[in-house]
Amino acid sequence: MGFLEVLKTSAAGLSAQRFRMKLIASNLANVNTTRTAEGGPYRRKDPVLAAVPVEEDFGQMLKGRLGDDDLTEVKVIAVYQDERPPILKYDPGHPDADSRGYVAMPNINVIEEMVNMISATRSYEANVTAVKATKDMALDALDIGR
């Protein structure tokens, strides 16, 4: 595996974790949103990540070089919308309260979101470290040639 394939794999990981962080931020920002365009309270969202084979670029196809079938990279293949029922909170003065005085609140656990954020941050940092190590190896290889 060459340097560019390693960088491409790490870049895919960085992109997936950045998307994951955007969804986590959206979940946290909407923890009290009781009304959405679809109707009802905000529903928590999670990315569905999958390992997919590394796509070959056009130059490799022209040369007839086939990539290593074992190489995979992470991609966001879907966004899962949580189907858990909303939390009912008694607040008869709220504009979205039903006839009994209950408001349907998003079923978002802030602690769970924070744990997911820490996990995404660590994964992002690991990919940044891999990019830096690859760059350092490439620079060391160039220094050998001097």
The Cα 78–Cα 83 span in angstroms is: 15
In degrees and rounded to multiples of 5, residue 28 shows phi and psi of: -70, -35
Q: Which residue has the higher pLDDT, 68 or 89?
A: 89
pTM: 0.81
Residue with the two structure tokens 């990279």: 73
pLDDT tens-place string over residues 16-25: 999 999 999 9
How confident is the model at residue 124, as a pLDDT?
95
Which of 19-28, 54-63, 70-79, 83-92 shows the lowest mean pLDDT across its residues? 54-63
